[in-house]
Chain A
């Protein structure tokens, strides 16, 4: 199963999972369009982007980590912590956004840096290090406050309410623009820089990467820092979206993000996957939610059931693909 023949062209196996996810997205969209009135519009897709911009940013950061063969469970908690820090600083001492935003990003990156350093320096499984980070960040939220803190800063509210009109009545929010910029920058870095290559090489075969003199340790620390940065940025986008900071924001979001990355075709063992896949993974998750809200009679936890089934299918698919190339 090295290649899939499509007409005359052949698709290398590594693009196959992304292609499958892409087809799935199109099929779901088409099915939704046939079944529900008003579904088959561009705005439905754009709404998926608008509602999941923060998840997309978080999943992008996580993709870096998973590509090295690691995992970051702390992302959801860091998102919550970011909303909390932003809300508390703006509402309490009344800090201006231009101070708050860099500070939040620095805190998120710093947490990631520390976790990455621990993973590398002490050679501890990332699962347990980031699990500790997850508890730590979630706990820190409650040292700031146990209740939801509303955000009334004018810059934030303007940002939250701005619509960027595209052609033909379609619109997006500024968050989507930020998310798209993050996607483009990340894709460029992963694909065209030596750093990006090292990410893939370390995930594909860490031993060989070390014996080639690639800076594996530095790269590992960097990917957790990137993931921390993306989580903090995702937290800011969420606080634009919710206009509040709360310790119970984004509970379980790390799992949604992992699901999106895996459905997007990235191998959990590292070394193989694309950012475009992660984008499609987030879109598929979002579209499932949309379909279920259109259905009306189904309860929201059906989303989880579908995500669960999809994950199973994708993990089995990955096994089949990678089984062929690892012998």
Chain B
């Protein structure tokens, strides 16, 4: 018996153009709860995908030793056979099947090729008791809440005789009671000898439950700490997580800040899929003309949900709160209202929500602002072409012509098309959700320049970003969001990565 159940050493994983992991080392002791912490995009999930065989042996460099043996997993099946089970943030359950069927999915209790239903339900009930799930095994997954679904996932892992259980953000979608129950369960599993690796943004949970923690930043291992020996606190973890290199350059910008453009007061949004869960909780914020404001928050903090619920209630139910435009209260019930009141929202997922990929550049640019190019329903194609040409030049969209299909452009140029589209609607307030995600460094600089220009034209810009250096380099003021609540408002000169991260990880008191 070795002391370490898992040793990953020198793991390097490259995607075209990006080094996602660089010489990462991870050692997990037998029977402990080991937390992995890092900012969004630090490489935590990639590392777990390497471990579980999602990226098969050969697609990465480095060595994995599990139970003292070298592992070369070609698929998830291989890693599961060895006793490593990963539970992803997006649960992999089949909603119409029963709990019992899901527990034994791909691992069916069968006799001569036929499913033994008695045994399936009986053994499922056993496993459900172990994880503290009080439901009938024949209940459909769709009929139980997310907290219980999480327990089904763990029961499923136990059915596979798991030795190392990996949980990616297990409590991100859970309410407080469910989270507490889950953490208790993990402690119980540890006492049964099951080793757990937990990826979490909630540092209070990490300090409460983990025996040791490994911090990853920019695809590298920063340090591994023993919680008890090193007296690890939340601040200690934050100090390791931040300090990402400021390698992005930012165009210089002197803001001319004017009057209030948009104010949101006491904004509360409930989840459409989990009744009763507040995704945004009493958030208030103010945007002023000519100002670039950042919104920082970790995955699941409710940033996109806040933005989309404000932008014509495109997310959420039971939305309450007030919106003031130029100091006057306004009612925004749908996207048309939002556009009419001068709001624009560029989504974080360009390909799915932002563009019509099979259409050309000019028609994508004109789509939202077609009103201005049409008279009584008839589109002025000449105007449309002219406008598109202007954006083609002014935004420096790299494409042979405005007739080029948008799906063929690079990420940066697609983003310029999205921005052009919204600028054409002549908004006063632009909400840009992850405006530089998946864009190379050169194009990022161009996007920053465009954002500065928009602010100089007197527009208010709200930038949502996972990259703290970007917020620090670009924004005049930054709000932090944690678990749906605004936990802080930091002006540029006072903003540091540590300060923001501290506010971003602030849990509920």
Binding site for B on A (CB under 8 A): 2, 12-14, 192-197, 200-201, 204-205, 207-215, 267, 271-272, 322, 324-327
A195, A200, A211: most-surrounded residue (chain B CB, <10 A): A211
- Which A residues lie within 8 Å of B370 (CB)? 194, 197
6 further A-B pairs in the complex, CB-CB below 8 A; given A195-B377, A213-B339: A14-B405, A194-B370, A194-B377, A204-B357, A205-B357, A207-B352
Contact of B338 among A196, A213, A215 (CB under 8 A): A213
Could you list 6 A-B pairs, sorted by A, with CB under 8 Å?
A204-B359, A205-B352, A212-B335, A213-B336, A271-B358, A272-B359
Contact of B312 among A14, A194, A213 (CB under 8 A): A213
Verify B356–A201 contact, CB threshold 8 A: yes
- Which A residues lie within 8 Å of B403 (CB)? 12
Find the A residue at minimum CB distance from B356.
Answer: A204
Considering the chains assembled together, what is the distance between the CA atoms of A204 and B356 in angstroms? 5
Verify A197–B363 contact, CB threshold 8 A: yes
Verify A2–B405 contact, CB threshold 8 A: yes
Considering the chains assembled together, what is the distance between the CA atoms of A271 and B338 in angstroms? 25
Verify B359–A271 contact, CB threshold 8 A: yes
Interface: B347 (CB within 8 A): yes
Interface: B174 (CB within 8 A): no
Contact of B358 among A193, A211, A212, A325 (CB under 8 A): A325
- Which B residues lie within 8 Å of A208 (CB)? 347, 352-356
- Which B residues lie within 8 Å of A2 (CB)? 405, 408
If A2-B405, A14-B405 touch, whether A213 touches B355 (CB-CB below 8 Å) is: no
B312, B338, B357: most-surrounded residue (chain A CB, <10 A): B357
Verify B347–A211 contact, CB threshold 8 A: yes
- Which B residues lie within 8 Å of A272 (CB)? 358-359
The B contact surface, by secondary structure, is: mixed
- Which A residues lie within 8 Å of B353 (CB)? 205, 207-208, 211
- Which B residues lie within 8 Å of A192 (CB)? 378-379, 381
Verify B367–A197 contact, CB threshold 8 A: yes
- Which A residues lie within 8 Å of B138 (CB)? none
Find the B residue at minimum CB distance from A10.
Answer: B400
Interface: B368 (CB within 8 A): yes
Interface: B248 (CB within 8 A): no
Contact of B356 among A209, A267, A327 (CB under 8 A): A209
Chain B, 331-389, CB within 8 A of any chain A CB: 334-336, 338-339, 345, 347, 352-360, 363, 366-368, 370-371, 374, 377-379, 381
- Which A residues lie within 8 Å of B355 (CB)? 205, 208
Find the A residue at minimum CB distance from B314.
Answer: A211
- Which A residues lie within 8 Å of B352 (CB)? 205, 207-208
If A192-B381, A325-B357 touch, whether A210 touches B314 (CB-CB below 8 Å) is: yes
Chain B, 284-328, CB within 8 A of any chain A CB: 311-312, 314
Interface: B407 (CB within 8 A): yes
Verify B379–A193 contact, CB threshold 8 A: yes
Verify B359–A201 contact, CB threshold 8 A: yes
- Which A residues lie within 8 Å of B314 (CB)? 210-211
- Which B residues lie within 8 Å of A205 (CB)? 352-353, 355-357
Verify B354–A197 contact, CB threshold 8 A: no
Rounded to whole Å, the gap between the CB of A199 and the closest CB of chain B is 12
Verify A212–B357 contact, CB threshold 8 A: no
Contact of B367 among A13, A201, A215 (CB under 8 A): A201
Verify A13–B334 contact, CB threshold 8 A: no
Find the B residue at minimum CB distance from A206.
Answer: B356
Verify B356–A200 contact, CB threshold 8 A: yes
Contact of B408 among A211, A215, A267, A325 (CB under 8 A): A325
Interface: B421 (CB within 8 A): yes
Considering the chains assembled together, what is the distance between the CA atoms of A144 and B374 in angstroms? 46
Considering the chains assembled together, what is the distance between the CA atoms of A195 and B334 in angstroms? 19
- Which A residues lie within 8 Å of B360 (CB)? 12, 14
Verify B368–A213 contact, CB threshold 8 A: yes
Contact of A327 among B312, B334, B381, B407 (CB under 8 A): B407
Considering the chains assembled together, what is the distance between the CA atoms of A207 and B348 in angstroms? 13
Verify B368–A212 contact, CB threshold 8 A: yes
If A12-B403, A194-B379 touch, whether A212 touches B367 (CB-CB below 8 Å) is: yes
If A192-B381, A193-B379, A214-B367 touch, whether A325 touches B354 (CB-CB below 8 Å) is: no
- Which B residues lie within 8 Å of A325 (CB)? 357-358, 405, 407-408
Contact of B374 among A12, A194, A210, A327 (CB under 8 A): A194
Verify B357–A211 contact, CB threshold 8 A: no
If A211-B354, A326-B358 touch, whether A200 touches B347 (CB-CB below 8 Å) is: no
Rounded to whole Å, the gap between the CB of A14 and the closest CB of chain B is 7
- Which A residues lie within 8 Å of B345 (CB)? 211
Verify B367–A209 contact, CB threshold 8 A: yes
**3 A-B pairs with the lowest CB-CB distances in the bound complex, closest first:** A213-B335, A204-B356, A212-B368
Considering the chains assembled together, what is the distance between the CA atoms of A327 and B358 in angstroms? 10
Verify B377–A193 contact, CB threshold 8 A: yes
Render B403-432 as a binary contact track against A, CB cut-off 8 A, 1 for contact: 101011000000000000100000000000
Considering the chains assembled together, what is the distance between the CA atoms of A215 and B370 in angstroms? 12
Verify A210–B363 contact, CB threshold 8 A: no
- Which B residues lie within 8 Å of A213 (CB)? 312, 334-336, 338-339, 368
Rounded to whole Å, the gap between the CB of A197 and the closest CB of chain B is 6
Considering the chains assembled together, what is the distance between the CA atoms of A12 and B492 in angstroms? 48
Considering the chains assembled together, what is the distance between the CA atoms of A13 and B335 in angstroms? 32
- Which A residues lie within 8 Å of B408 (CB)? 2, 324-325
Considering the chains assembled together, what is the distance between the CA atoms of A72 and B377 in angstroms? 26
Contact of B405 among A13, A193, A196, A212 (CB under 8 A): A13
Considering the chains assembled together, what is the distance between the CA atoms of A327 and B408 in angstroms? 8
Verify A204–B368 contact, CB threshold 8 A: no
Verify B347–A204 contact, CB threshold 8 A: no
Rounded to whole Å, the gap between the CB of B362 and the closest CB of chain A is 11
- Which B residues lie within 8 Å of A215 (CB)? 336
B347, B367, B370, B421: most-surrounded residue (chain A CB, <10 A): B367
- Which A residues lie within 8 Å of B335 (CB)? 210-213
- Which A residues lie within 8 Å of B363 (CB)? 197, 200-201
Rounded to whole Å, the gap between the CB of A122 and the closest CB of chain B is 17
Contact of A271 among B312, B336, B356 (CB under 8 A): B356
Find the A residue at minimum CB distance from B349.
Answer: A207
Rounded to whole Å, the gap between the CB of A121 and the closest CB of chain B is 16
- Which B residues lie within 8 Å of A209 (CB)? 356, 367
Considering the chains assembled together, what is the distance between the CA atoms of A322 and B334 in angstroms? 32
- Which B residues lie within 8 Å of A322 (CB)? 358
If A209-B356, A213-B339, A271-B356 touch, whether A197 touches B379 (CB-CB below 8 Å) is: yes
- Which A residues lie within 8 Å of B354 (CB)? 208, 211
